[in-house]
C-alpha cells in the first residue's frame, strides 16, 4: 500500500497552503526520520491517495482548491486505513467535531506544539497497524448550530477531548465550578455522539430529596412504599439507548452511591420493590462542582464509585482563566437575546475590556445574566463601558457587603423548588413538601450557628432564638456533629 524508500521509512503526505508552515513541518518531519510529500492543494493529494501512496496524511482544512473535510469521506472510502491528522486555525467546537466525524485520527488546533505533532504522528502510525476502532455508517448530519462558544487554548483542549470521546461509550466525569458549562458539555457529548438518536436524561442529585434518589434512578413498582400507587419508571430506564447525566454527583447519598456502583458493575438494576433484573443500556456522564477526592477523604464519597465514573475527566476551566473567550461569548449572548425578541445590540471594545478584568465567580452563567440585564435595562443601541461599570459595581457592592455571595434566599428557594417540580414532571413531587423543605433548611442553619458559637449550645440557642431543649432535640434529630475548634484556627 505504501511507498517506501528504505525499510521501515514511513511516508507522510503533507497538505498545507502556507508555504512557511509547510516548510517548517517538512523539515521537522524529515529530521524525525519520515519521508515527506508536501503539497499546497487537494488535487495533488488526491492523485497520491489514488495511487496508494503515503502511510499517513496531515492536512489543513481550508485549501485553495477546496475543503479537506469534503474530500475526507472519499479518501476514507478508497484508503480506509490511512490515518488523517487535521490541523486548522478555525479553532471552533464544530471544527473538532467535523474532524472527528470525517474520521480524522486526531485534530490539532493551530498553532500547535511541534513535539505534540510528532507524538500524534507516531501514535497514529502505531495504531494504523491495529484494526480501525471506529464503526462505519454512523455519520450524523450535525446540527450546524454551535453549542459551545470560545476558542481559548483551554477550550481547544476540551474540544479535542470531546471529538475523541464522541464515538465512544466511555464514562465521562465533568468537573468545574458552577456555571462553567458542565451541563452544556454533557449535552454536546450526547448530541454529537453515537447515541444522539436516543434520549438524554438528566438527574440532579442536589435537587431531589435524599430518600427519593434511588426510586428516581431505578423507578419503583406499585406498592413499593407508601404513596407508590403505580409503577413508575426510573431515569435508568428512561435513558435506555441514550445518555444518563448524573448532575451534582457529589451530593449523592452514600446508600444510593453503593447501589449505583453495583448497577454500573453488573450492568443491570432492580426497581425499588422489584424482583426482575433489568439490563442497562446507558452512557453515563457525571458532573460535579465539588472536589471529589476531598469528599472521599471525608468519607462522603465512595472511592470505588469515583474510579468507575472518572474514566475520562474533563475539567472545565473557570471563565477568569479564559478571558479571551469573553468577546465571543458576549457576541453569542447578544445574538441569543436578539433571537429571543430583545432589541439587537452591540457592545463597545472598552466595555469588553472591562468585562475581561472582572473575576466572574459565577462564570459563564453570570456573564450570560449580565448581558441579559444590560440588554433589558439600557436603551442605547451600543452597550458602553459605563453601562458595564454600573452593573459590575452593583455586583461587587453586593458581594463586598456580605463578604461572600449574597443570594436572595427566596430566589434561591424558588429555584430549588422549580428544579424539584421539573424533576417530577408531568406528575407532582411526593407529599410532605412543607416539612421536607423546612428540615433541609434547619440542618445547615443549626450546624452553622453551632459552628459560629464554637459548639456552645447555650450561645447557639440564644443566637437562634430557640429553647435549649428544642435545640438539643434538633441536633440529635439531624445527627449534627458538634465541632469545637481551638483558638488558633478559629
Q: Which is nearer to ligand ATP, 328 or 353 (CB)?
A: 328
Q: Interface mask (CB under 6 A) for ligand ATP, residues 323-352, using x and -?
A: ------x--x--------------------
Contact 40, 15 (CB under 8 A): yes
Q: Which does 179 bind (CB under 5 to 8 A by kind): Mg ion, ligand ATP, none?
A: ligand ATP
Q: Interface mask (CB under 6 A) for ligand ATP, residues 179-198, using x and -?
A: xxxxxx--------------
Which span (122-130, 142-150, 219-227, 387-395) binds ligand ATP, by CB under 6 A?
A: 142-150
Q: What stretch of H or E contains 395?
A: helix 385-402
Q: Is 152 in the site for ligand ATP (CB under 6 A)?
A: no
Given 364, 374, 471, 475, the residue binding ligand ATP (CB under 6 A): 364
Residue 87 DSSP SS3: strand
Least CB distance to Mg ion at residue 142 (A): 24
Which span (65-73, 130-138, 227-235, 361-369) binds ligand ATP, by CB under 6 A?
A: 361-369
DSSP string, 251-314: G--HHHHHHHHHHHHHSEE--BT--S-EE---EEEEEESS-HHHHHHTTSS-HHHHHHH-SEEE
What is the total residue count of the chain? 490
DSSP string, 39-78: ESSHHHHHHHHHTT--SEEEEESEETTEEHHHHHHHHHHH
d(CA 245, CA 385): 39
Contact 167, 194 (CB under 8 A): yes
Grid coordinates representing 486 are: 481551638
Q: Is 289 in the site for ligand ATP (CB under 6 A)?
A: yes
Contact 34, 8 (CB under 8 A): no
Contacts of 391 (CB under 8 A, 6+ apart): 370, 373, 374, 377
Q: Which does 362 bind (CB under 5 to 8 A by kind): ligand ATP, Mg ion, none?
A: none
Q: Which is nearer to ligand ATP, 136 or 291 (CB)?
A: 291
Given 14, 87, 97, 149, the residue binding ligand ATP (CB under 6 A): 149
d(CA 454, CA 384): 49
Residues touching ligand ATP: how many (CB under 6 A)? 17
Which span (171-179, 373-381, 382-390, 464-472) binds ligand ATP, by CB under 6 A?
A: 171-179
Q: Is 250 in the site for ligand ATP (CB under 6 A)?
A: no
Q: Interface mask (CB under 5 A) for Mg ion, residues 174-193, using x and -?
A: --------xx----------
Q: Which does 364 bind (CB under 5 to 8 A by kind): Mg ion, ligand ATP, none?
A: ligand ATP
Given 44, 122, 171, 178, the residue binding ligand ATP (CB under 6 A): 178
Grid coordinates representing 70 are: 469534503
Q: What stretch of H or E contains 123?
A: helix 114-129
Interface residues with ligand ATP (CB under 6 A)? Answer: 148-150, 176, 178-184, 289, 329, 332, 364-365, 368
Amino acid at each position: 500500500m505504501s511507498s517506501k524508500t528504505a525499510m521501515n521509512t514511513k511516508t507522510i503526505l503533507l497538505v498545507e497552503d502556507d508555504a512557511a508552515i509547510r516548510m517548517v513541518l517538512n523539515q521537522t518531519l524529515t529530521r524525525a526520520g519520515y519521508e515527506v510529500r508536501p503539497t499546497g492543494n487537494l488535487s495533488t493529494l488526491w492523485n497520491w491517495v489514488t495511487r496508494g501512496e503515503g502511510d499517513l496524511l496531515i492536512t489543513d482544512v481550508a485549501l485553495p482548491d477546496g475543503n479537506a473535510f469534503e474530500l475526507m469521506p472519499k479518501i476514507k472510502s478508497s484508503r480506509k486505513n490511512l490515518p488523517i491528522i487535521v490541523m486548522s486555525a478555525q479553532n471552533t467546537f464544530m471544527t473538532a467535531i467535523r474532524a472527528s466525524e470525517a474520521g480524522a485520527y486526531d485534530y490539532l488546533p493551530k498553532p500547535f506544539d511541534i513535539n505534540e505533532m510528532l507524538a500524534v504522528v507516531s501514535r497514529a502510525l502505531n495504531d494504523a497497524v491495529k484494526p480501525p476502532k471506529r464503526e462505519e455508517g454512523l455519520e450524523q448530519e450535525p446540527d450546524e448550530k454551535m453549542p459551545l462558544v470560545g476558542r481559548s487554548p483551554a477550550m481547544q483542549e476540551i474540544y479535542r477531548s470531546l471529538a475523541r470521546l464522541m464515538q465512544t461509550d466511555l464514562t465521562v466525569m465533568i468537573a468545574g465550578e458552577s456555571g462553567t458549562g458542565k451541563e452544556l458539555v454533557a449535552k454536546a457529548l450526547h448530541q454529537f455522539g453515537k447515541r444522539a438518536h436516543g434520549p438524554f436524561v438528566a438527574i440532579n442529585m442536589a435537587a431531589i430529596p435524599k430518600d427519593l434518589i434511588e426510586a428516581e434512578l431505578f423507578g419503583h413498582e406499585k406498592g413499593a412504599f407508601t404513596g407508590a400507587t403505580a409503577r413508575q419508571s426510573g431515569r435508568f430506564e428512561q435513558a435506555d439507548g441514550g445518555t444518563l447525566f448524573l448532575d451534582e454527583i457529589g451530593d449523592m447519598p452514600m446508600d444510593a452511591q453503593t447501589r449505583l456502583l453495583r448497577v454500573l458493575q453488573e450492568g443491570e438494576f432492580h426497581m425499588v420493590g422489584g424482583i426482575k433484573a433489568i439490563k442497562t443500556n446507558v452512557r453515563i456522564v457525571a458532573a460535579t462542582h465539588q472536589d471529589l477526592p476531598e469528599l472521599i477523604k471525608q468519607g462522603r464519597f465512595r472511592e470505588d464509585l469515583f474510579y468507575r465514573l472518572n474514566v475520562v475527566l474533563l475539567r472545565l476551566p473557570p471563565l477568569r482563566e479564559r478571558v479571551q473567550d469573553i468577546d465571543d461569548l458576549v457576541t453569542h449572548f447578544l445574538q441569543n437575546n436578539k433571537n429571543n425578541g430583545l432589541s439587537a445590540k452591540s457592545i463597545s471594545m472598552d466595555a469588553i475590556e472591562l468585562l475581561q478584568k472582572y473575576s466572574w465567580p459565577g462564570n459563564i452563567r453570570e456573564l450570560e445574566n449580565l448581558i441579559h440585564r444590560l440588554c433589558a435595562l439600557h436603551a442605547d443601541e451600543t452597550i458602553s463601558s459605563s453601562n458595564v461599570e454600573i452593573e459590575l459595581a452593583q455586583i461587587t457592592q453586593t458581594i463586598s457587603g456580605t463578604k461572600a455571595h449574597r443570594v436572595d434566599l427566596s430566589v434561591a428557594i424558588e429555584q430549588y423548588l422549580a428544579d424539584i417540580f421539573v424533576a417530577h414532571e408531568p406528575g407532582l413531587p411526593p407529599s410532605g413538601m412543607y416539612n421536607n423543605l423546612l428540615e433541609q433548611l434547619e440542618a445547615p442553619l443549626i450546624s452553622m450557628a453551632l459552628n459560629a458559637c464554637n459548639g456552645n449550645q447555650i450561645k447557639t440557642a440564644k443566637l437562634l432564638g430557640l429553647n435549649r431543649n428544642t435545640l438539643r432535640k434538633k441536633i440529635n434529630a439531624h445527627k449534627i456533629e458538634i465541632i469545637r475548634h481551638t483558638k488558633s484556627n478559629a
